[in-house]
Structure 1
Amino acid sequence: MQAEIYDVLIVEDERSLARLHADLIDNHEKLRLVGIVGTLHEAREQLQLKRPRLVLLDNYLPDGQGITLMESDILRGLDCSVIFITAASDMDTCSQAIRCGAFDYILKPISWKRLRHSLERFIQFATTQRAFKIVDQQNVDNLYQLQSKSFNQEAGCKGIEENTLGLIRQIFIHGDSDLHSVDDIVSQTGLSKTTARRYLEYCVETAFLCVEMRYGNIGHPRRLYRRTPQSQTK
């Protein structure tokens, strides 16, 4: 059976975060990015036009809440899974997303490794669905296990090279209290923005860095990185 490529639509109005999502998809051989939109209106248009197999859906959008899209006839009429991404930590929103059939629910500030793990589980889930036209109980159990499989914080760190990691760490070690954006790291290291972002998120996952969101009066919030207090004592 020929390997299938799964089309992905990103619905996220924070541009830097949408780019982070896009980097993960662009670097995966089984995923294909078909669009990035920042409003519910654009999402509805692109769902009908592109008919993606997966949507990364933010909840708080300029023209409404993403959860309403999950309840819409447009999304229900597609063979499309949703990874719901939100700052909403209340149980009502979480329960509503689950009732609407969300494949996964990820809280902001988003974990790069957590999202990558979710994408891998989706691919396994979709591939398993495609493999069987008629199911027995074991097939059904496998599908449910893939959808609910717990996230392993100790998952591998493929693509992380020690010299590059050390270079980025030194920037924060020499300025313990300094905040740095992805662009700051790019200008100081010469790395591409995609690579710098990947290493910064790995440092967040390993508790060397933490993320701070800065909200200005104009434009989107900035994702900034600072060395964690616990790593300063090591």
Structure 2
Amino acid sequence: MSPIAVLVVEDEAIAAAAHAELVQRLSGFTLVGVARSCADARRILRTSPADLLLLDMHLPDGHGLDLLAQLRLEGHGCDAVAVTSVRELDVVRRAVSQGVVSYLLKPFTFAGLRAKLEQYADYRARLSASGADVVQGEIDQLLGSLRTADEGAGLPKGMSPETLALVTAHLRGAGQARSASEVAAECGLSRVTARRYLEHLEASGVLERRPRYGGAGRPEVEYRWR
């Protein structure tokens, strides 16, 4: 089975680079390009067809779903995973009606995006293995492969997706490195709990960890959003 060709459509330079890096690291996927606008996406797809778009909603020259509709009119049958901070119900409904196969809210971890891509790969593999006609059970399995049964699945025992989202959003919006003690105080957590989530995010690749010098004694560890 040939690799799944992915086009990243994201206007934020850091996010676009991170998404592209993850795609390139994952077995079974290949990156066809990074588009920073609707016009970029259409230009790239003219010469480099994609199976899947990692699609932001807010683009400098239009809405992600309007781009998807235009691509459909132009004959592009690529699927899309929405990767966005947009939470409005009407946008989610439009996304579903336009064939968006998965929806991932920012902020998220690399592990969350990787899970969405792996679910899509499983869906494609099941689709390829199916015959021309399918029975109900096969349809259920196909659609089920695009869903996450437990949003906390994949997290270490004792960690919650809600607290992970809180710490992720805090670090992403901080604009500077923070220590476990600072995150604990600012998020209302114990220092031990804050450090555990910070180390999980560092292991996932979204934070960088380094020593903070300046005080007496051992240097404190600080974490910064990549």
Instruction: Compute the TM-score of the two structures, normalised by the length of structure 1.
Output: 0.68
| Deviation of 1:81 (Å) | 1.1
Aligned to 2:97: 99
Identity %: 27
Question: For 1:69 and 1:121, how far apart are their aligned partners in 2?
Answer: 24
Paired residues in the alignment total: 178
Once residues 23 and 231 of structure 1 are traced to their aligned partners in structure 2, the CA distance between those partners, rounded to angstroms, is: 33
- Tell me what 2:88 maps to: 90
Would you say 1:155 and 2:154 are equivalent positions?
yes
- Counterpart residue type for residue 112 of structure 2: R
The amino acid that maps onto 2:171 is V
Spell out, residue by residue over 1:84-118, the C-alpha distance to the aligned partner (whole angstroms, 9 max, x if none).
11221110111110111101111112332221110
- In the other structure, the counterpart of 1:145 is 144
Change over 3 Å in CA distance of 1:211–1:124 after alignment to 2: same
Letter in 2 for 1:212: R
* Equivalent residues of 2:119, 2:147 under 8 A apart: no
In the alignment, does 2:38 pair up with 1:79?
no
1:19-45 CA deviation, whole Å, 9 max, x = no partner?
Answer: 211121111110001100100001111
Q: What's the C-alpha RMSD, in Å, of the aligned pairs? A: 2.5
Residues 1:233 and 1:5: Cα distance change in structure 2 (over 3 Å): closer
Question: What is the deviation of 1:58?
Answer: 0.6
Equivalent residue number for residue 53 of structure 1 = 51
Change (3 A) 1:154 1:145: closer
1:34 pairs with 2:23: no
Q: Secondary structure at the match of 2:146?
A: helix
Which stretch has the larger CA shift, 110-119 or 31-40? 110-119
Q: What runs of 5+ residues in structure 2 fail to find an aligned partner?
A: 157-162, 194-226
Encode CA deviations 1:170-210: one digit per residue, 9 max, x unaligned: xxxxxxxxxxxxxxxxxxxxxxxxxxxxxxxxxx8497653
Q: What's the offset of the Cα at 1:77?
A: 2.5
1:68 to 66, 70, 89: 66
Match in the other structure for 1:17:
15
In structure 2, the residue matched to 1:232 is 191
Q: Distance in 2 between matches of 1:86 and 1:152?
A: 17
Where 2:171 maps in the other structure, the secondary structure is strand
For 2:26, what is the secondary structure of its paired residue? Answer: coil
Q: Which runs of 5+ in 1 are unaligned?
A: 158-203, 215-221
- Contact 1:113-1:205 within 8 A present in 2 as well: no
Give the equivalent residue in structure 1 for 2:222.
none
Question: What is the DSSP-based 3-state SS (H/G/I as helix, E as strand, rest coil) of the residue aligned with 2:154?
Answer: coil
Is the 2:42–2:71 Cα contact (8 Å) retained in structure 1? no
Does the 8 Å contact 1:117/1:151 carry over to 2?
no
Q: Give the 3-state SS of the residue equivalent to 2:114 in structure 1.
A: helix
* Whole-angstrom distance in 2 between the partners of 1:68 and 1:26: 27
Structure 1 pair 125–75 and aligned structure 2 pair: CA distance change class (3 A): farther
Cα pair 1:84 1:106 within 8 Å, conserved: yes
> Could you tell me how far 1:54 is from its partner in structure 2?
0.7
Task: Give yes or no for contact 2:57–2:65 (8 Å, CA) kept in 1.
Answer: yes
Matched residue type, 2:69: E
